[in-house]
Every structure is written in structure tokens, then in C-alpha cells.
Amino acid sequence: MAVEERDCSVEIDFEKLFNEQSRKLSDMVERLYRNSPFYREKLNKAGVRPEDIRRVEDLEQVPFTTKSELREGYPFGLMAVPDEQVVRIHSSSGTTGKPIIVPYTKNDVSVWAEMMARCMEMAGVTPRDRVQVTPGYGLWTAGIGFQAGVERLGAMAIPTGPGNTEKQLEMMADIGTTVLIGTSSYGLLLAEEIHKRGIRDKIKLRIGIFGSERWSDKMRARIEEDLNIDTFDIYGLTEIYGPGIGIDCPMHRGIHFWSDHLIFEIIDPETGKQVPPGTQGELVITTLTKEGMPLLRYRTHDVTTLRREMCPCGSPFPMIDRVLGRTDDMIKVKGVNIYPGQIDHVLRMTPGACSEYQILLTRENAKDRILIKVEAEDGCSLEQVSGECKKNIKTKIGIIADVEAVPRGTLPRSEKKTRRVFDNRDC
């Protein structure tokens, strides 16, 4: 894709950006105070009056909104419009306890479709494309969100939903799918299947848009290589519309987000204090135009960095880094804090190691044992790959782990998200 490279030493004019966001922010806070009993009480308790929040910088006075508050509000505790304005609900998966219900107004649905269409456009999707949407439809936000974006852009949606790989591949070949949407795990599964069957020449794919889980550069390279496509990392969460609030561009320098609808702040997850652009921390999001369930300073638990510089692609929208992990993904082994993203990093630097791995934790004789199973490339010595991995884990992460290399394709593949950490230490 030909993209003109621009000067990337130019920094984002954050003052100008905050000025633009501030007007929308003060309108929203006033609206929330009037219409949302939840936020009225929350702001009163914190001693914050709506007129105190005039500018983005004032946000620091506002307490965070947490996922557990959203759960406690089940089902409509955070709804900020009368019933007759709600046209749809979505819900989070709710693996533990009650799910979170998110009400959308007509305008929310439209803004979401617009943001999603922008994402697709940024990835180079055009009205001539045929877009296979493999995420699930239903209460879950993904399928329907992508579908609406494809239609808004004017491309052709192929709403297969998840599963049935046989049928997916048949549709892909017969209809001439050019854009694949899914989790990165499913992208990998399909890529390997197409490669194994030697049917790449029957497939017209040129773009992959993947999201909903963290994926390593190694996994990305594998998908791109097997399918000969360009891939894009799309960002979002059910509590804030769903997928489509940000995506990386053809320069792949970070994830652009739609700052006319959302404020992204980065905080230190320990102290809760804002950190300046360029510093890693936890992403906190405030919605600017959402009506059904607007959120003030929602803690995402996603770890990333707000970038200082303008993207060379020329987009006026600011960027965060690709999400490195979640603050609650952290595992503590032998007194050391580890993020699964660190294992990705080790695998990237280990010759012969593939992207796929599992972390198995057990306790033996009151001691933690960590075993990492990792796939090795075809033709590589398993012994050598496991030895290299073990050495790199020790130098990069600082712990002694057992490593078992297994042949490529041994570990399970997923049509949804891949589970990589198995903590059996309580058993």
C-alpha cells in the first residue's frame, strides 16, 4: 500500500486537542449530572460540581468508574436516558457473576458504526471489498459492530459468525472474501488451515482485521506470511461501544483512536495519578458523546502508552501503543511479577520458537513450579529451542522456568480467544 511518509518528529498539539475535547466534556458532565442518579451521587460524594469540570485537565478531580460498579448497577443502574430513547442493549460475557448491560440510543448506534467505518477505511477497506465477519453475533458487541461498520462504509458484509472452519473456507473461496475479521487466534487457525491445504491461490484475501485479545508480533508475522496479507489491530471494549474505537494504520506505529468521541488518559495503576504522554500505564477512557451509558474515567486495566508524536500516515488522530497486556493478567511466580506479554517478547528473540505457548503453574513441596510449553518451528531441534528459551527467560524475566518445546501445531488452536495461562496452584 503506498502511503506517503511524513515527518514523524512533529508532536501532537495536545493543547489544541484538549481545547476541542473540553467543550464536549463539560456538556457531557452537565448532562450526566442532570440525568444519571449514579453519577450525581458519585460526583456529590467526591465534592465535585459539574461546573468544576470545564477542561480535560479538570478530570483528575473526578473519581474513576470501575467494572465492579458497572456490575453492581446491573441491569440499568448507569443508564442516563429515559427508556424510550434506548434502541438496543449489549452485554459483556460475564464469566463471573452478573454480566454488564450496556444500553445504546439511536445516536450511539450511529456513532459506533461511524467509528467502525473509519477503522475499516484506515485499514484500506473500500466499498469494493467483501468482508467476512467471523466474530459472534448476539448480545456480544463484536459481530454486529463490525457488520454495521462494513455497511456504513458500503462494502459487502459476509456475516458468517464464528465456527465451522470448513464452511468459512468454502465461503471465502466461493464468494471471494478480500477482508477477514476475527480474533487473532482464529486468524492463525484459518491461516494455518489454508497453508496446510495449499489453497492460498483460491483465496482472494488482502486484509485481516483482528482484535479482542493481545497478539504478539510473532503471531502477526505468521498470519501475514501464511496468508500474504496486511493485518490491523483493532481496539475496543464492550463497556465503551465495543470494538472499533481505535485501530492501527498502514504505518503500524500504534493505534489511532477517535479523540472526537473519547478522551484517553494514562494513569499509574498503583497511585491512580495521571502520567504524561510517552509514559506506560493503565488506559482510562471518558466518553464525550455517548448517551445511553456515558462513562467518566473508566478503568480499562489495559496497559499502554499515549504517543507524543504525530503518525507519519498524516492522520490527525492521536495514537496509543498496541496494548501490552492487562494489569489483572499479571501472575506472581516465585515472588516475581510476570505479564504474559513478557513471554511473547522472549519467544520473539528465540530463534526457532513459534508464537504459540502455554504457561502452567503448579505448587510442589510448597514451591512454585512454572512450566512453559512452546511450539518450535518445523525442522528445529526441540532440545535446542527449549534450552534457548530457558536461558532467555532467565536473563529477560529473571526466573528459572522449565521449558518444554513441542512440535508446531501441537498446542490447541482457538476460534475465539486463546487461553495461555493455567494456574493450578490452589489445587
Per-position x/- string for 296-335, each x denoting binding to Zn ion as judged by CB under 5 A, each - no binding: ---------------x-x-x--------------------
Taking the least distance from each CB to Zn ion, the nearer of 29 and 313 is 313
Pinpoint the alpha helices (H) of 36-72: 37-46, 67-72
With CB under 5 A as the rule, give the number of residues binding Zn ion: 5
Q: DSSP secondary-structure letter at 214?
A: -
Asked if 12 is part of the footprint of Zn ion (rule: CB under 5 A), the reply reads: no
Element counts in the chain: helices (H) and strands (E): 10, 20
Asked if 119 is part of the footprint of Zn ion (rule: CB under 5 A), the reply reads: no
Asked if 189 is part of the footprint of Zn ion (rule: CB under 5 A), the reply reads: no
Residue 282 CA to residue 224 CA, distance in Å, equals 29
Taking the least distance from each CB to Zn ion, the nearer of 208 and 352 is 208
Residue 228 CA to residue 341 CA, distance in Å, equals 25
| DSSP-assigned states of every residue in 321-377 | PPP-EEGGG-EEETTEEE-HHHHHHHHHHSTTEEEEEEEEEEEETTEEEEEEEEEE-
Residues 363-382 that bind Zn ion (CB under 5 A): none
Q: How far is the CB of 103 from Zn ion (least distance, A)?
A: 33
Taking the least distance from each CB to Zn ion, the nearer of 244 and 292 is 244
Taking the least distance from each CB to Zn ion, the nearer of 316 and 407 is 316
For residues 152 and 180, the answer to whether their CB atoms sit within 8 Å is no
Q: How far is the CB of 319 from Zn ion (least distance, A)?
A: 7
> Alpha-carbon dihedral of residues 237, 85, 258, 247, nearest 10 degrees?
40
Residue 42 CA to residue 36 CA, distance in Å, equals 10
Q: How far is the CB of 148 from Zn ion (least distance, A)?
A: 23
Residue 419 CA to residue 372 CA, distance in Å, equals 13
Return phi, psi of residue 54, to 5°.
-105, -30
Residues 243-272 that bind Zn ion (CB under 5 A): 249, 251
Interhelix angle 217-227/184-197, rounded to 10 degrees, is 40
Q: How far is the CB of 178 from Zn ion (least distance, A)?
A: 22
Taking the least distance from each CB to Zn ion, the nearer of 90 and 118 is 118
Taking the least distance from each CB to Zn ion, the nearer of 256 and 345 is 256
Asked if 188 is part of the footprint of Zn ion (rule: CB under 5 A), the reply reads: no
Q: How far is the CB of 215 from Zn ion (least distance, A)?
A: 19
Asked if 346 is part of the footprint of Zn ion (rule: CB under 5 A), the reply reads: no
Q: How far is the CB of 426 from Zn ion (least distance, A)?
A: 44
Q: Assign 98 to helix, strand or coil.
A: coil
Taking the least distance from each CB to Zn ion, the nearer of 122 and 157 is 122
Binding site for Zn ion (CB under 5 A): 249, 251, 311, 313, 315
